[in-house]
Amino acid sequence: MQKRNTILLLGIFAIIVLIVGQAIIIKGVWQQKDEMLYLRYKSLSLEAVTALRGMRSFDPYDTVRFILDNYSGKVVSELEEISDNEQKLAEKKEDILKYFTKVLDSEQDLSAYLSKYFESMGFEKDFKHRIEISNLDIIGQDTFRIYMKESFMYRQPSDRADISIDLKGSKSSILVYRTREVSNNYALYFDYYIDFSDKQKMILQEIAWSLTMSIFSMLIVVVIFLYTYRNLMEEKRLSNLKTDFINNMTHELKTPLATITVAGKTLEMEKIRADDSKILETAKLIGKQSVHLNQLINMILEISMWERTQFQLDRKKIDIEEVMNDIVSSFMTGCGDYAALNQKYRFNGAKADIDLVYFTTLINNLLSNAVKYSDKEPVIDIEGITDDKNICIRIADNGIGISKNDQKHIFDKFYRASSGNIHKYKGLGLGLYYVKKIAVAHGGDVTVSSKPGKGSIFTVTIPY
Ligand code: ADP
């Protein structure tokens, strides 16, 4: 038990170490890709903007300039009109700033230019951009300060150059283009950024393959571990079952042996020897117990024989109803008035290809269990039907029933439901194991449905 727990703990520990190790590696790869992505776009942007500076024929903000100048010319008179009303003025300024940002954002050709440039260099052409206005003045007769970013005030004049590039700053965006626009009606400073706020998706795409492989390998390790652990538990369970079997078997063998020993001792007594009838009675007892002992030993021998060889069925076409009647009536003779057995067959004269000896063992095992696992007078209903492929036999009892958990195991070799192990009901845990084996060897199956305290129903199907 302790050894098993140690193995389990070690296994879990190893898996945790593996997962943590993988997570560290993935994190490292992620950071590396993050850095690479940033550096790649940083240098590409730098190249692109340098190339742009050399072009005289192309200005990505031509349209913008035209629209904004027009707009400023109109809006300046509105500003003059409301210059006394502070609230209205503030609202108007906010609108103007929004409009400028919108036009700068949507009417520029820089994004298209960069996109083409990135593509021509063989890199991802889709990216997001962001416009940040640092300072905006509308110029009429008076100058209206629409907006000034606090940090702009402290900027060095050289920072305010026409087209410049500043690649410092946060890694979630790259400043590509900083410009000053001064026209008749406005003065504007703004920055154009490549936005990386959703770069996770880009990185994920790049490392998708290695991430999948790593998750997959971890899954395989976990599955192998669980599988191995399950096997270990199964082995443990089987070894427990074997121990139980040996205990049960010893108990079964000891009972007739003890009776025979006592009977032998009895025969030694002079008083008994003088009485012929007592001698006969004791001899009969010894004979009966010897037969029982012999049966037990044969059964054990049979077990090992059945284990070593495959079932050799000697199949013959047999009228199933006739066979069932024979088996049940000889079983009834065996248990006298003790149990009530009701039979109801609708086999329609079906003949099945069965081995009579094994089939008889199968039905007998089920019937004797139905009698054995009963705490009141047993009432057993035996029903038989056929469909177009199978014969189906149901044996229902009013016995102690079987718990859901035990139902999963009762067909296992040596398995006895927990109450069975304390010798209240004698047995070796082999009856149902053989029932299953015999049914399967005939190409059929056996199933159980039961409720503790209410009784059990065993259903055997065999093709015919
Ligand atoms: P055994 O009877 O020797 O213990 P079996 O393989 O015949 O072995 O049965 C396995 C277990 O299934 C039994 O220990 C018993 O707990 C349970 N069982 C079998 N048949 C019945 C039944 N008709 N009613 C209640 N429990 C049953």
pLDDT-based confidence at residue 33 (cuts at 50, 70, 90): confident
Q: What's the CA-to-centroid distance between 301 and ligand 1, angstroms?
A: 21
The pLDDT of residue 243: 84
pLDDT tens digit sequence for 121-179:
888 888 889 899 999 999 988 889 999 887 777 666 555 444 444 444 446 788 888 88
DSSP string, 13-36: HHHHHHHHHHHHHHHHHHHHHHHH
Contact in structure between 186 and 70 (CB atoms under 8 Å): no
Tokens of 452: 């503790």
Which residue type sits at 424?
Answer: K
Residue 449 has pLDDT above 90, yes or no: yes
Q: In which order are the strands placed within the sheet that holds 143-148?
A: 143-148, 128-139, 186-195, 173-182
pTM of the model: 0.54
The pLDDT of residue 333: 81
Q: What's the CA-to-centroid distance between 345 and ligand 1, angstroms?
A: 25
**What's the rounded Cα separation, in Å, for the pair 177 and 53?**
11
Of ligand 1's listed atoms, the one at least distance from the Cα of 421 is 14
pLDDT-based confidence at residue 252 (cuts at 50, 70, 90): confident
Residue 116 has pLDDT above 80, yes or no: yes
Q: What's the CA-to-centroid distance between 246 and ligand 1, angstroms?
A: 17
Q: What's the CA-to-centroid distance between 341 and ligand 1, angstroms?
A: 19
Contact in structure between 454 and 401 (CB atoms under 8 Å): yes
Residue 336 has pLDDT above 60, yes or no: yes
Which residue type sits at 181?
Answer: E
Q: Does residue 437 line the site of ligand 1, with CB under 6 A?
A: no
pLDDT-based confidence at residue 113 (cuts at 50, 70, 90): very high
pLDDT mean over 256-284: 89
Q: Does residue 429 line the site of ligand 1, with CB under 6 A?
A: yes
Q: Which protein residue's CA is at the shortest distance from atom 13 of ligand 1? A: 416
Region of 244 on the Ramachandran plot (φ > 0 left; ψ -120 to 50 alpha; else beta): alpha
pLDDT tens digit sequence for 455-464:
999 999 999 8
pLDDT, the chain, mean: 86
The pLDDT of residue 166: 43
Three-state SS letters, 449-460: EEECCCEEEEEE
Cβ burial of 162 (10 Å; 0-12, 13-18, 19+) is exposed
Q: Does residue 380 line the site of ligand 1, with CB under 6 A?
A: no
Q: Does residue 384 line the site of ligand 1, with CB under 6 A?
A: no
Beta-strand pair 316-319/186-195: unpaired
Residue 328 has pLDDT above 90, yes or no: yes
Q: Does residue 11 line the site of ligand 1, with CB under 6 A?
A: no
Q: What's the CA-to-centroid distance between 162 and ligand 1, angstroms?
A: 93
Q: What's the CA-to-centroid distance between 416 and ligand 1, angstroms?
A: 6
The pLDDT of residue 155: 66
Cβ burial of 434 (10 Å; 0-12, 13-18, 19+) is buried
**What's the rounded Cα separation, in Å, for the pair 46 and 382?**
90
CA 233 to chain centre: 20
Q: What's the CA-to-centroid distance between 432 and ligand 1, angstroms?
A: 7
Tokens of 419: 């109450």
Q: Of 15 and 252, which is predicted with more confidence?
A: 15
Tokens of 360: 């008889």
The pLDDT of residue 384: 95
Q: Which protein residue's CA is at the shortest distance from atom 25 of ligand 1? A: 401
Best of 241, 244, 369 for a ligand 1 pocket test (most atoms within 8 Å of beta carbon): 369
Query: CB 264: neighbour CB atoms within 10 A?
Result: 11
For the ranges 30-34, 185-189, 249-253, 336-340, which has the lowest average pLDDT?
336-340
Best of 406, 416, 454 for a ligand 1 pocket test (most atoms within 8 Å of beta carbon): 416
**What's the rounded Cα separation, in Å, for the pair 144 and 73?**
12
Query: CB 140: neighbour CB atoms within 10 A?
Result: 16
Q: What's the CA-to-centroid distance between 460 and ligand 1, angstroms?
A: 16
